[in-house]
Structures are given as structure tokens and as C-alpha cells.
């Protein structure tokens, strides 16, 4: 298989984009610069708010997403990955406008979980309200016999606060309030709703919440898509790193 350039359709948010780039670099088997993967990053933080567009009818991000995908294609990317879960609501419309492959973050996560955790039945979801309301994860996981469990309304508001508030992850905060809120919601999903695993259903979540924080498997879609991207680009995974 010939090597391919990875195209990252990012900016939603910028730190999640950096995190995916960092994961790919750290997970690639390489001993010097020249052995790493060429990556083109389109980081546009001006893309309109995805959740508000879906739920409130505000400015659609679709034109911006298509523009970014075309930019990556024209720049020479062999395929595209997008480190924003909610933006996958627009996935089918984006792929109509490009000719290169576009890895689907949620589908790849489902395939990984089905392979690595085949006995899971109930999985808690920490995600934006836009992702929760549009059943993005449910569409893939429930057809495979795995129930996606969402927080109650009060806890979902805490997830949104952890991500979007003035002291939230998108504002540059990881510890303190964001971590405490996400931990509280995750514990409620585990202890009160019997969830056997937790999915970081927003790419900002693993910036604050880590695997060692939980007593059940913590499924990080960005780690999964980084792994898949390295393979698809024609490179090898660094051993003992995933």
C-alpha cells in the first residue's frame, strides 16, 4: 500500500485538533523526522457552532466544512479525518462534495468497540447536546446490540457546562470545574445506570477526563481514529502505545 497524506478537518475546537495531531505523532512508529507521516491540518475555528445550528437553526457550518474538505483534497490529502463528533451530523453532505475517503469517527469507534469489547451491553455517553439529540452514536451502536445510555437532563447540562462555560474546556480549562463535572456525570452513569463503559462522545472530553479517572473502560474516539489514520496512511503503530 502506498503512503498517503492525512488531512485533518479541524478547528472544532482547536485544542481537540492539536490533540489528534499529537496522538498521531506519538503513536506512529518513527525514530526520526523523516519517518513520520505528512499531515495537512485545516484549522478553522470560525466554523459556526454545530450544536446551535442543529438544535436552534443558527448559521449552518456545512458550507465551511465542505470548503475545508475541498481545501484538504486539493492540497494533496489522501483521506480526511475530522476531530469533532457533532460535526459528523453533516458527514453525508460533506462526502458528496469530495472524491477522497473520509473516515467516519463514530463508525470507526463502533468497529473498534465491537472488536475489543464484544460483551459490552450498556455504554454511557458524554457528549454535546447536539450529538445526544441527533442519535449519532445510537445509530451505529444499537444496531450492534449495545445500548447507548445518555445522562439525565440535569447531568447533560453539566456536560455542556464542562465544555462550553467560561471556565470550561473550550475556554482552556482542563482541571477544576470541567473535570469535576465530567467525573460526576460519569460516576452517575456507572453507578446509577449500570454503564459498563464510558465514551468520550465529544472530542473535548478526553482533554479533561482520562482513562485512569474511571473504574470502567474509557473509550476515546480520537485515539481510535488516530490509530486508524496511521494504518490508512500506510505506516506502523508504535508498540505499547495504544
Structure confidence by residue, pLDDT tens digits, 107-151: 999 999 999 999 999 999 999 999 999 999 999 999 999 999 999
Give the pLDDT of residue 7. Answer: 98
Q: Mean of the per-residue pLDDT values for the chain?
A: 96
Q: How far apart are the first and last CA of the chain?
A: 22
Q: Looking at residues 99-111, what average pLDDT do you find?
A: 98
Structure confidence by residue, pLDDT tens digits, 179-194: 999 999 999 999 999 9
Give the pLDDT of residue 177. Answer: 97
Domains of the chain by start residue, with CATH: 6-104+223-232 (3.40.50.1860), 106-220 (3.40.50.1860)
Structure confidence by residue, pLDDT tens digits, 13-69: 999 999 999 999 999 999 999 999 999 999 999 999 999 999 999 999 999 999 999
| In the predicted structure, residue 240 carries a pLDDT above the cut 80 | no
Q: Looking at residues 65-94, what average pLDDT do you find?
A: 98
| In the predicted structure, residue 241 carries a pLDDT above the cut 70 | no
User: What pTM value is reported for the model?
Assistant: 0.95
| Active site residues per annotation | 84, 202
Grade residue 2 by pLDDT with cuts at 50, 70 and 90.
Answer: confident
C-alpha span between 221 and 203 (Å, rounded): 8
| In the predicted structure, residue 202 carries a pLDDT above the cut 80 | yes
Structure confidence by residue, pLDDT tens digits, 155-171: 999 999 999 999 999 99
Grade residue 222 by pLDDT with cuts at 50, 70 and 90.
Answer: very high
pLDDT, greater one: 1 or 225: 225
| In the predicted structure, residue 242 carries a pLDDT above the cut 80 | no
Amino acid at each position: 500500500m502506498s503512503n498517503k497524506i492525512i488531512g485533518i478537518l479541524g478547528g472544532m475546537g482547536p485544542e481537540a485538533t492539536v490533540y489528534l495531531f499529537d496522538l498521531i505523532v506519538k503513536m506512529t512508529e518513527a525514530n526520526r523526522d523523516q519517518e513520520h507521516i505528512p499531515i495537512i491540518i485545516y484549522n478553522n475555528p470560525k466554523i459556526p457552532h454545530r450544536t446551535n445550528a442543529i438544535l436552534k437553526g443558527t448559521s449552518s457550518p456545512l458550507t465551511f466544512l465542505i470548503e475545508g474538505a475541498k481545501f484538504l483534497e486539493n492540497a494533496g490529502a489522501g483521506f480526511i479525518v475530522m476531530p469533532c463528533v457533532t460535526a459528523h451530523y453533516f458527514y453525508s453532505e460533506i462526502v458528496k462534495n469530495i472524491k477522497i475517503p473520509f473516515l467516519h469517527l463514530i463508525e470507526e469507534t463502533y468497529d473498534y468497540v465491537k472488536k475489543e469489547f464484544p460483551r459490552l451491553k450498556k455504554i454511557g455517553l458524554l457528549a454535546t447536546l447536539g450529538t445526544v439529540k441527533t442519535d449519532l452514536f445510537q445509530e451505529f451502536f444499537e444496531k450492534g446490540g449495545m445500548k447507548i445510555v445518555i445522562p439525565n437532563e440535569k447531568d447533560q447540562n453539566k456536560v455542556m457546562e464542562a465544555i462550553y462555560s467560561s471556565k470550561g474546556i473550550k475556554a482552556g480549562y482542563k482541571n477544576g470545574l470541567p473535570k469535576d463535572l465530567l467525573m460526576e456525570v460519569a460516576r452517575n452513569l456507572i453507578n446509577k445506570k449500570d454503564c459498563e463503559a464510558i465514551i468520550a462522545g465529544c472530542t473535548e472530553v478526553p482533554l479533561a477526563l482520562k482513562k485512569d479517572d474511571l473504574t470502567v473502560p474509557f473509550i476515546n474516539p480520537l485515539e481510535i481514529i488516530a490509530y486508524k489514520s496511521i494504518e490508512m496512511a500506510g505506516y506502523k503503530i508504535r508498540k505499547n502505545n495504544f
